[in-house]
């Protein structure tokens, strides 16, 4: 990592917030929904339209465009020394079925706005700069999520991604070819010197604290479980309280413990029960079985392991106290992802340079930056979104916050790519 | 009510347990399911077959058969004084879609077995005795439940019952006519001197206590609610614990309080949450809304009112403690039904006469006896069923217990009808 360039040379350099906002609105019109959101599923005709628009903007800025085998798009602005690995920024432009205009799109267009600003001010950098559009981050139409960056970093194979099908039975390879975004470059055969991603927070922390810039030290790791409590189904009328084996009652204590565990691991512990299935789910029948999800998150592997151990211990106690069957099945694991100290420091320094108030905000959700961080030093910049709502048509963000985030991105990139 | 006849005259009179069992098996063959249960829905062809079989048995015992407008069947054995209102016993022969051989059927065939025993021993009674087959007790195909006895006692109108339709759009009046069980006798134009109903317990109390005869002092009253907790739906990752409005977590405390309330009103308090709906019910989304059922029961109106007040008070506290929206909607009410002291006493005395161990067992479930009790002194006799399971194809009961219950029914009826 290169040291940040001296503040004095950059103090006045700022992006054009209105130009950024207009580009967000123009891209947001492709797949716009009546409620003000966007439905632009990965590898759909609308995704192609969005990609075409963004690539056209890049070309008009003199950038070269490369597409790899999984459809990731890299839009490149040359540096003075093109033998250096590029400083990459970006995100995705596919959306949830009822998604918003900012999730992902902001990261791509903030990157493009950085390039436009550099071009406008005829600023050269030592390393080349690239803006990436990663394929299918949302995973709504095809799983796994974060598909483009996942294949790129080798988290799973190209063949695995190609074989994924949507509910209509269409697969990723055919759909990539159909929309003309199946490139020739081998995935991952593309060096990265450093990676930055600007994103709306998708949570309420910045808004609640009235802070403009979130410096993201890490993405929380998570463990997902299915927990099944098995009691004995019986009639709510004739069965006295003292001989019941009520699976739901036992489940409620576990559900509360999930939250209690998270509270014992502040500030980044999270515990959520989001999905519950009661059997037979009848008003006058004592539940015989209850199945529910458990989502535990924290910032370090050690803390997450400790939270998981607490859960196991509690379940062992509940089994012995109640005599009911309690099964815990691990569904998924995602390790915590700390970002690189140099990138985190560059983001913080850029915000300070620009006079924006900052706070550290861990990312609770996954982003392409997690996979990029496996290959190169990486960092993220968060800006507030209204009520912390995302993955929703009512997702919203303020132009001045989006502009501030793009300014921070600009100066973080300049710190890594080195203004000359 | 007449006093019980002196023990010395009845001490040796007992039903034929094997004859009773064989009749249960023969009736249970109509609509038999592969798993050993019965599917004989109200007013189906199978219901007609079952009714025809039972009526043929009655006729062969010299009984007269009357059918009323809602299809209730009254099979009558004359007494010495036929101006007296008959002592009636009975139950129903319709079943749940995956029902058992004993629920309802036992009450009808135990009554028939009493008649067969009296005929066999040429025993005359002062009052006539009737065995009733009430229409559509289960309510599986047509609601309301306990339809025949409900119309009979005036709980709701004949027209209301006639208009009820099944999922195929067929109505009760047409289906009654189709199977030939729409009678001319006006509902309720049929005096009852006293009413007894023998039934499997449908709960585990007798089996757990290893007691053969349950004396039923009352049927529990109930209040049914839908409770809705409204929080704020947000992403499980980015939302810190301390600012969540997790509707499910708040709901779990209410679910636990439902049980706590019941435990504060022993021995007959019951509290059950049987049905839960979580929205959006997604693994990584904090539930924004949770809707669940509450079922509170007790033996007296005062206790039930007090339990309901406890619930209201708790919800008021939860609203103020959590700030979340908590709505409580009353869905249904059924008042407690105490049985007549004379009938309860006759059941207890009959069991003592026969040397069966007894205990008091309230009925948590509804029975035709509740409606009969609105017209005449009534009582019920419970016998154990395996694991307390009913409304299930694996419903089971022991021949010796069924025989014991029929013996008690015999002597309770003799006490009311007066052996001469």
The whole-number pLDDT of residue B11 equals: 57
Chain B contact set for A273 (CB, 8 A): 248-249, 287
**How is residue A91 written in tokens?**
């995100």
Position A8 pLDDT exceeds 70: no
Residue with tokens 């109930």: B222
- Quick one: B212 and B243 in the same domain? no
Of B290, B318, B334, the one marking the end of a domain is B334
Residue with tokens 């009961």: B397
In a domain, A2, yes or no: no
Return d(Cα A343, Cα A409) in angstroms, integer. 11
Beta-carbon separation of A283 and B238 below 8 A: no
Residue with tokens 């483009």: A148
DSSP conformation letters of A344-362: HHHHHHHHHHHT--EEE--
As for how many domains chain B has, the answer is: 2
Domain with A257, as residue range(s), is 221-334
Return d(Cα A57, Cα A53) in angstroms, integer. 6
- Quick one: B274 and B148 in the same domain? no
CA-based nearest residue to A341, from A216, A225, A182, A239: A216
Beta-carbon separation of B240 and A276 below 8 A: no
Beta-carbon separation of B235 and A203 below 8 A: yes
Chain A contact set for B236 (CB, 8 A): 270, 272, 274, 295, 297, 364
Beta-carbon separation of A205 and B238 below 8 A: yes
- Quick one: B110 and B132 in the same domain? yes
Q: Residue A162: which CATH number? A: 3.40.630.10
CA gyration radius, chain B: 24
Pairing of the two strands B194-200 and B378-383 = parallel
Tens-digit pLDDT profile for residues B64-77:
999 999 999 999 99
Closest B-chain CA to A264: B241
CA-based nearest residue to B269, from B278, B280, B261: B261
In whole numbers, what is the pLDDT of chain A averaged over residues?
A: 95
Tens-digit pLDDT profile for residues A60-116:
999 999 999 999 999 999 999 999 999 999 999 999 988 999 999 999 999 999 999
Pick the more confident residue, A157 or B188: A157
Q: Residue B263: which CATH number? A: 3.30.70.360
Tens-digit pLDDT profile for residues B43-61:
999 999 999 999 999 999 9
- Quick one: A404 and A373 in the same domain? yes
Which of B259, B267, B364 lies at the smallest CB-CB distance from A239? B364
- Side by side, the strands of the sheet bearing B194-200 are B64-67, B73-77, B129-133, B87-91, B194-200, B378-383, B213-216, B358-360
In a domain, B172, yes or no: yes
Average confidence (pLDDT) over A216-233: 96
Quote the pTM value: 0.86
Beta-carbon separation of A203 and B237 below 8 A: yes
Which of A208, A270, A285 lies at the smallest CB-CB distance from B274? A285
- Quick one: B232 and B212 in the same domain? no
Nearest C-alpha of chain B: how many angstroms from A213? 15
Q: How far is CA B260 from the centre of its chain?
A: 26
Band of residue B392 on the pLDDT scale cut at 50, 70, 90: confident
Which stretches does DSSP call E strand in A310-398?
325-334, 337-338, 358-360, 378-383
Return d(Cα B342, Cα B348) in angstroms, integer. 10
- Quick one: B36 and B158 in the same domain? yes
Return d(Cα A96, Cα A105) in angstroms, integer. 12
Tens-digit pLDDT profile for residues A103-156:
999 999 999 999 999 999 999 999 999 999 999 999 989 999 999 999 999 999
Of B334, B351, B381, the one marking the end of a domain is B334
Please state the ipTM of this predicted complex. 0.87
In whole numbers, what is the pLDDT of chain B averaged over residues?
A: 95
Tens-digit pLDDT profile for residues A326-383:
999 999 899 999 999 999 999 999 999 999 999 999 999 999 999 999 999 999 999 9
- Quick one: B349 and B279 in the same domain? no
Three-class DSSP labels, B248-261: HHHHHHHHHHHHHH
Positive/negative CA dihedral, A112, A118, A120, A124:
negative
Residues in Cβ contact with A321 at an 8 Å cutoff, skipping those fewer than 6 apart: none
Return d(Cα A22, Cα A43) in angstroms, integer. 24
Return d(Cα A358, Cα A361) in angstroms, integer. 9
CB A382 within 8 A of CB A368: no
Chain B contact set for A293 (CB, 8 A): 283
Pairing of the two strands B358-360 and B213-216 = parallel
The whole-number pLDDT of residue A15 equals: 98
Q: How far is CA A159 from the centre of its chain?
A: 23
Return d(Cα B299, Cα B217) in angstroms, integer. 9
In a domain, B189, yes or no: yes
Return d(Cα B348, Cα B213) in angstroms, integer. 9
CB B133 within 8 A of CB B93: yes
CA-based nearest residue to A197, from A130, A125, A121: A130
Beta-carbon separation of B287 and A274 below 8 A: yes
Return d(Cα A208, Cα B68) in angstroms, integer. 70
The whole-number pLDDT of residue A9 equals: 52
In a domain, B240, yes or no: yes
pLDDT above 90 coverage of chain B, percent? 91
Position A4 pLDDT exceeds 70: no
Beta-carbon separation of A236 and B295 below 8 A: yes
DSSP state of B265: S
Which of A241, A263, A363 lies at the smallest CB-CB distance from B259? A241
- Quick one: B347 and B209 in the same domain? yes
Pairing of the two strands B378-383 and B213-216 = antiparallel
CB A235 within 8 A of CB B219: no
Beta-carbon separation of B237 and A389 below 8 A: no
Return d(Cα B73, Cα B42) in angstroms, integer. 13
Alpha helices in B121-246 (DSSP H): 147-153, 158-163, 172-178, 205-209
In a domain, A1, yes or no: no
In a domain, A88, yes or no: yes
DSSP state of B87: E
Chain A contact set for B388 (CB, 8 A): 234-235, 238-239
Band of residue B9 on the pLDDT scale cut at 50, 70, 90: low
Return d(Cα A106, Cα A110) in angstroms, integer. 6
The whole-number pLDDT of residue A11 equals: 57
- Quick one: B30 and B129 in the same domain? yes
Average confidence (pLDDT) over B121-141: 96
- Quick one: B346 and B309 in the same domain? no
In a domain, B88, yes or no: yes
Beta-carbon separation of A241 and B270 below 8 A: yes
Average confidence (pLDDT) over B337-348: 98
In a domain, A115, yes or no: yes
Beta-carbon separation of B389 and A297 below 8 A: no
Of B286, B310, B334, the one marking the end of a domain is B334
- Quick one: B193 and B261 in the same domain? no
DSSP state of B202: S
Tens-digit pLDDT profile for residues B282-300:
888 899 999 999 999 999 9
- Quick one: B110 and B209 in the same domain? yes
Chain B contact set for A330 (CB, 8 A): none
Would you say how long chain A is, in residues?
420
Q: What are phi and psi of B334, to 5 degrees?
A: -140, 120
């Amino acid at each position: 990592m290169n040291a940040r360039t001296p503040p004095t040379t950059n103090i006045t350099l700022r992006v054009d917030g209105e130009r950024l906002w207009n580009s967000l609105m123009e891209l947001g019109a492709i797949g716009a929904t009546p409620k003000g959101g966007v439905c632009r599923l990965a590898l759909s005709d609308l995704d192609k339209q969005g990609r075409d628009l963004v690539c056209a903007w890049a070309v008009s800025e003199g950038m070269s465009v490369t597409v790899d085998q999984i459809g990731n798009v890299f839009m490149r602005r040359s540096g003075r020394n093109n033998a250096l690995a590029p400083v990459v920024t970006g995100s995705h432009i596919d959306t949830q079925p009822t998604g918003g205009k900012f999730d992902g799109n902001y990261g791509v267009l903030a990157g493009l706005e950085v390039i436009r600003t550099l071009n406008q001010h005829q600023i050269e950098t030592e390393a080349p700069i690239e803006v990436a559009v990663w394929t299918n981050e949302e995973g709504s139409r095809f799983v796994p999520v974060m598909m483009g960056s996942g294949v790129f970093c080798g988290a799973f194979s190209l063949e695995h991604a190609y074989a994924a099908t949507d509910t209509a039975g269409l697969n990723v390879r055919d759909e990539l070819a159909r929309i003309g975004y199946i490139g020739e470059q081998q995935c991952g055969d593309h060096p990265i010197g450093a990676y930055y991603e600007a994103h709306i927070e998708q949570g309420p922390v910045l808004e609640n604290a009235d802070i403009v810039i979130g410096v993201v030290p890490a993405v929380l790791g998570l463990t997902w479980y299915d927990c099944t409590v098995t009691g004995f189904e019986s009639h709510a009328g004739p069965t006295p309280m003292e001989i019941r084996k009520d699976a739901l009652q036992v489940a409620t204590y576990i559900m509360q413990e999930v939250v209690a565990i998270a509270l014992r691991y502040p500030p980044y512990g999270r515990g959520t029960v989001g999905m519950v299935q009661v059997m037979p789910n009848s008003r006058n029948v004592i539940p015989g079985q209850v199945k529910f999800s458990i989502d535990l998150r924290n910032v370090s592997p050690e803390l997450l392991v400790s939270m998981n151990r607490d859960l196991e211990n509690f379940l062992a106690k509940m089994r012995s106290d109640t005599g009911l069957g309690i099964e815990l099945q691990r569904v998924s694991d995602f390790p915590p992802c700390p970002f690189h100290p140099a990138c985190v420091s560059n983001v913080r320094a850029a915000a300070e340079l620009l006079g924006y108030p900052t706070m550290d905000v861990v990312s609770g959700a996954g982003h392409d930056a997690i996979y990029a961080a496996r290959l190169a030093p990486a960092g993220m910049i968060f800006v507030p979104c209204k009520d912390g709502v995302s993955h929703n048509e009512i997702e919203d963000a303020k132009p001045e916050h989006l502009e501030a985030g793009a300014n921070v991105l600009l100066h973080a990139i300049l710190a890594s790519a080195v203004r000359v």
